[in-house]
Amino acid sequence: MKTIPLQAARTLHLIAQGLLTPPRRKATKADVLSAIRRMAQLQIDTIHVVARSPYLVLFSRLGDYQPQWLDEHLAEGALFEYWSHEACLVPIEDYGLLRHRMLDPAGMGWKYAAEWHANHRDDIERLLDQIRANGPIRSADFAREGGNGSGWWDWKPEKRHLEVLFATGELMVAERRNFHRIYDVAERVLPDWNDERDLPPAEAVPQELLRRACRALGITRADWVADYYRMPRRPYTSELHELADAGELVPVRVDGWKADAFVHRDLADKLDDVAAGHVASTVTTVLSPFDPVVWDRKRASVLFGFDYAIECYTPAAKRKYGYFALPILHRGRLIGRVDAKAHRTQGVFELKSLHMEPGVRIGTGLTADLRRALQRCADWHKTPQLAAGAGVPATLAAALTGAA
């Protein structure tokens, strides 16, 4: 069994995630779909102090691109939205792998309000019939901030009904407008699907999800693999060894790890060059807090020595790094985090705070790479003026913003 250095394991993961080299050409709409297929899924989040997470994840890999391309892929049916890791956009070809969750959502925890469904079944069915007869609707159609409302469509509980119908797969997200979900019945969104004909056997799905997780991770361990698709939390040692016996994974040892590691066969031909240091990531960019590289805190800690937890849900007084601190990826390492805010009206991209990891040497090369990366991100946000807040070290503020 081959032994590889930790840096090689990082490189293999970044290759799989599409973060080996900066983009060499201007992105196209097709590149958006290719990037999502490479990651297997794209997590959704609504926070927009900078670009909303799904758009930012794509920017980290594609550079300058048109965010509406993502919305178009959803509306055109190349993607669907469902609970996979969390709420995610998933390639439509993987619909069957998540369909079993829709048909039996009892194990999905808070994502499926079983008690609400049981108590409001008749109302939920009436809502479904209404959508079937009258066409797509938004959750916002039911929003009401007080008063008696003007009829059935004003009922606030209907928003919870929609979530039940989404969890059970009877409604799908047909498109998003200004990031708001537009729900329609599944038979209109996916008219060619037939459960009797197209549904894969339930017993085959876990292994297929493991295959996709392994490919998206590039290198994995038995204690990592369940998180990618939120599968039952347990070590998948025997399953990974079975995939290795079938030639789909290559077992390796990683310096400093006691656990076995497995490299996906798509990267097997690069393994020697990566291990020897002939192939390494040259990307410098910021990542979304919901990027697959960092969404598993334990994996990010083991693989990158980077302890990351988003603090937007932490009381302000207890935050260490900021409301929406973006991890900084620099040439195969996670070297720090920047809390940023895009002031769209003023055209300013504010660096509220910047924290580098212990031991990171801030030389001219790193500073130049970071300056370029932040400027590209600011330009893509259409907030081209970089401004440094009080939380940016004085030694870096002028260099990063171009201030005199």
pLDDT at residue 141, as a whole number: 82
Mean pLDDT for 277-292 is: 98
Which is nearest to 48 in space by CA: 285, 289, 371? 289
C-alpha 300/C-alpha 293 separation (Å) is: 7
Mean pLDDT for 28-49 is: 97
C-alpha 333/C-alpha 305 separation (Å) is: 9
Residue 145 has pLDDT above 70, yes or no: no
Mean pLDDT for 265-289 is: 98
> In which region does residue 382 sit, left (phi positive, over 0), alpha (psi from -120 to 50) or beta (all else)?
left
Query: pTM of the full predicted structure?
Result: 0.94
Residue 149 has pLDDT above 60, yes or no: no
Confidence tier at 219 by pLDDT (50, 70, 90): very high
Q: Which tokens belong to 353?
A: 């705070």
C-alpha 353/C-alpha 322 separation (Å) is: 7
> In which region does residue 82 sit, left (phi positive, over 0), alpha (psi from -120 to 50) or beta (all else)?
beta
Q: Based on C-alpha coordinates, what's the Rg of the chain?
A: 23
Confirm if 74 and 81 have CB atoms less than 8 A apart: yes
Residue 152 has pLDDT above 90, yes or no: no
Q: What is the pLDDT of residues 87-120, one digit of tens each?
A: 999 999 999 999 999 999 998 999 999 999 999 9
In this structure, what are the phi and psi dihedrals at residue 203, rounded to the nearest 5 degrees?
Answer: -70, -20
Mean pLDDT for 124-148 is: 83
DSSP class of residue 21 equals S
Q: Which residues of 32-71 are buried (b: 16+ CB within 10 A; e: fewer)?
A: bbebbbbbbbbbbbeeebbbbbbbbbbbbbbbebebebbb
User: Locate tokens 């310096």: which residue?
Assistant: 255
Q: What is the pLDDT of residues 349-395, one digit of tens each?
A: 999 999 999 999 999 999 999 999 999 999 999 999 999 999 999 88
Q: Where are the domains of the chain?
A: 66-201
pLDDT at residue 96, as a whole number: 98
Q: Is the torsion defined by CA of 68, 72, 74, 79 positive or negative? A: negative
Alpha helices in 40-177 (DSSP H): 53-62, 68-75, 95-103, 114-119, 121-134, 157-167
Q: What is the pLDDT of residues 392-403, one digit of tens each?
A: 998 899 999 986
Mean pLDDT (the chain) is 94
Confirm if 226 and 234 have CB atoms less than 8 A apart: yes
Residue 157 has pLDDT above 90, yes or no: no
Side by side, which strands form the sheet with 261-264?
2-4, 249-254, 261-264, 219-220
DSSP letter string, 38-50: HHS-EE-----SS
Alpha helices in 218-279 (DSSP H): 225-228, 237-245, 271-275
Confidence tier at 144 by pLDDT (50, 70, 90): low
pLDDT at residue 404, as a whole number: 46
Alpha helices in 150-190 (DSSP H): 157-167, 186-189
Q: What is the pLDDT of residues 192-218, one digit of tens each?
A: 999 999 999 999 999 999 999 999 999
Q: What is the pLDDT of residues 224-271, one digit of tens each?
A: 999 999 999 998 999 999 999 999 999 999 999 999 999 999 999 999
pLDDT at residue 146, as a whole number: 52
pLDDT at residue 371, as a whole number: 97
pLDDT at residue 143, as a whole number: 59
C-alpha 266/C-alpha 279 separation (Å) is: 15
Residue 280 has pLDDT above 50, yes or no: yes
Q: Which tokens belong to 85?
A: 């890791």
Residues with Cβ within 8 Å of 256's Cβ and at least 6 positions away in sequence, in order, are 6
pLDDT at residue 403, as a whole number: 61
Q: What is the pLDDT of residues 293-327, one digit of tens each?
A: 999 999 999 999 999 999 998 999 999 999 999 99
pLDDT at residue 151, as a whole number: 42
Which is nearest to 291 in space by CA: 64, 34, 5, 18? 18
Angle between helices 205-217 and 237-245 (to 10 degrees): 80
Mean pLDDT for 57-67 is: 98
C-alpha 292/C-alpha 18 separation (Å) is: 11
Q: Which tokens belong to 326?
A: 């973006």
Residue 30 has pLDDT above 90, yes or no: yes
User: Locate tokens 């890791």: which residue?
Assistant: 85
C-alpha 295/C-alpha 308 separation (Å) is: 8
Q: Which tokens belong to 345?
A: 């009206």
